[in-house]
């Protein structure tokens, strides 16, 4: 199956980075096609915060508004499709899982990251509801509650301390991992409770936490758990196209959002560890501007070669 669609830029991933880039490109007079499979990592989140003019709306509400903004421009199009492959060339060839092939001068990866969720009963059910990863997005609304931090790494311990900014009572849940003596002392000085028992399950009602059950038969009442999860690329498209990944599994980009593959760019969560909606929007805007400028430079180069 071959499709005749050709666009200046094809954006793979139509969440906040992708839509922001599409807006910048469409407003620059570029034809842009956005492909989205509606599988963003924040899809299960009920509310999104720390976003000017949209504070407290759900990610889906904000995304719906963003799509309408982009589609106000005639040069922009939006497709609910999953891209399976990018093939290098001039133009680039973009293939979707239904067998269609599209062409573009540039491609922007906004495919996001997939969080690695611990294999603990109830954890996945609470993800994005009462188990959350960003205190700057959600801790304010939970100030009056006793919250927990899940993890045992040095970074997790630092985040447990940061939660004291919002919450008087914070408990660190290490899930069977010991805490070093110096870490224990630091936690105690911050009046952070430590529970090192292995967790057998999370008790909840429709994703809203009630308690943590431990292997030793005890339990601990808690309504919210913060976690700093490890993550991997949500899509293998970039790596399959030859884009280099960093040690933390993020796509390597330069200051202009270019990947290591000519004509392929990246923006949003797939290339930064700062995973908030507002930063994704900024990242997409930057990428859209830089892609527009690079396409103009390509145009000038072709003009100069015509002698």
Residue range 38-61, pLDDT digits in tens: 877 776 678 889 999 999 999 999
Maximal CA-CA distance, the chain? 81
Q: Is residue 174 located within the same domain as residue 260?
A: no
Q: Is residue 241 located within the same domain as residue 216?
A: no
Q: Is residue 13 located within the same domain as residue 110?
A: yes
Last residue of a domain, one of 227, 248, 279: 227
Q: What is the mean pLDDT of residues 283-289?
A: 98
CATH number at residue 156: 3.50.50.60
Domain-located, residue 1: no
Its domain, for residue 142, covers 123-227
Q: Is residue 242 located within the same domain as residue 100?
A: yes
Last residue of a domain, one of 171, 204, 227: 227
Q: What is the mean pLDDT of residues 62-80?
A: 96
Confidence grade of residue 3 (pLDDT, cut at 50, 70, 90):
low
Q: What is the mean pLDDT of residues 114-141?
A: 92
Identify whether the C-beta of residue 163 lies closer than 8 Å to the C-beta of residue 147: yes
Q: What pLDDT is stored for residue 1 in this prediction?
A: 46
Q: Is residue 93 located within the same domain as residue 185?
A: no
Instruction: Indicate the pTM of the whole model.
Output: 0.91
Q: Is residue 193 located within the same domain as residue 66?
A: no
Q: Is residue 33 located within the same domain as residue 97?
A: yes
Tokens of 192: 């952070």
Q: How many domains does the chain have?
A: 2
Check residue 251 and report its DSSP letter: B
CA 246, CA 163: separation in Å to the nearest integer?
A: 29
Q: What is the mean pLDDT of residues 99-115?
A: 94
Among 8-22, 77-91, 210-224, 252-266, the least confident range: 77-91
Domain-located, residue 75: yes
Q: Is residue 89 located within the same domain as residue 30?
A: yes
Q: Is residue 67 located within the same domain as residue 29?
A: yes
Last residue of a domain, one of 212, 227, 242: 227
CA 21, CA 253: separation in Å to the nearest integer?
A: 16
Stretch (H or E) spanning 132: strand 131-132
pLDDT in tens, 216-242: 999 999 999 999 998 999 999 999 999
Tokens of 189: 């000085």
Confidence grade of residue 142 (pLDDT, cut at 50, 70, 90):
confident
Q: Is residue 94 located within the same domain as residue 182?
A: no
Among 25-29, 178-182, 197-201, 268-272, the least confident range: 178-182
Q: What is the mean pLDDT of residues 193-217?
A: 96
Domain-located, residue 33: yes
Give percent above pLDDT 70 in the chain.
Answer: 97
């Amino acid at each position: 199956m071959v499709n005749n669609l050709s666009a200046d830029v094809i954006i793979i991933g139509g969440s906040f980075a992708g839509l922001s880039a599409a807006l910048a490109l469409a407003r620059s007079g570029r034809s842009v096609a956005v492909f989205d499979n509606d599988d963003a990592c924040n899809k299960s989140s009920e509310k999104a915060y720390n976003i000017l003019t949209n504070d407290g709306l759900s990610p889906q509400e904000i995304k719906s508004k963003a799509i309408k903004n982009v589609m106000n421009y005639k040069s922009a199009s939006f497709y609910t499709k999953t891209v399976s492959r990018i093939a290098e060339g001039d133009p680039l060839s973009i293939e979707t899982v239904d067998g269609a092939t599209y062409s573009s001068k540039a491609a922007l990866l906004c495919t996001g990251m997939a969080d690695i969720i611990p294999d603990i009963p109830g954890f996945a059910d609470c993800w994005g509801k009462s188990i959350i990863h960003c205190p700057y997005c959600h801790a304010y609304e939970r100030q009056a509650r006793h919250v927990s931090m899940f993890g045992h790494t040095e970074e997790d311990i630092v985040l447990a301390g940061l939660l004291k900014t919002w919450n008087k009572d914070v408990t660190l849940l290490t899930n069977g991992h010991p805490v070093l003596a110096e870490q224990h002392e630091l936690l105690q000085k911050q009046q952070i409770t430590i529970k090192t028992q292995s967790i057998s399950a999370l008790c909840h009602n429709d994703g809203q936490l009630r308690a943590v059950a431990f292997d030793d038969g005890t339990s601990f009442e808690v309504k919210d758990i913060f976690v700093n999860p490890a993550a991997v690329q949500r899509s293998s498209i970039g790596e399959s196209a030859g884009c280099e990944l960093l040690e933390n599994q993020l796509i390597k980009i330069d200051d202009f959002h270019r990947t290591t593959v000519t004509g392929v760019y990246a923006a949003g969560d797939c290339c930064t560890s700062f995973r908030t909606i507002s930063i994704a929007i900024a990242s997409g805007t930057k990428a859209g501007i830089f892609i527009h400028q690079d396409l103009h430079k390509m145009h000038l180069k072709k003009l100069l070669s015509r002698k």
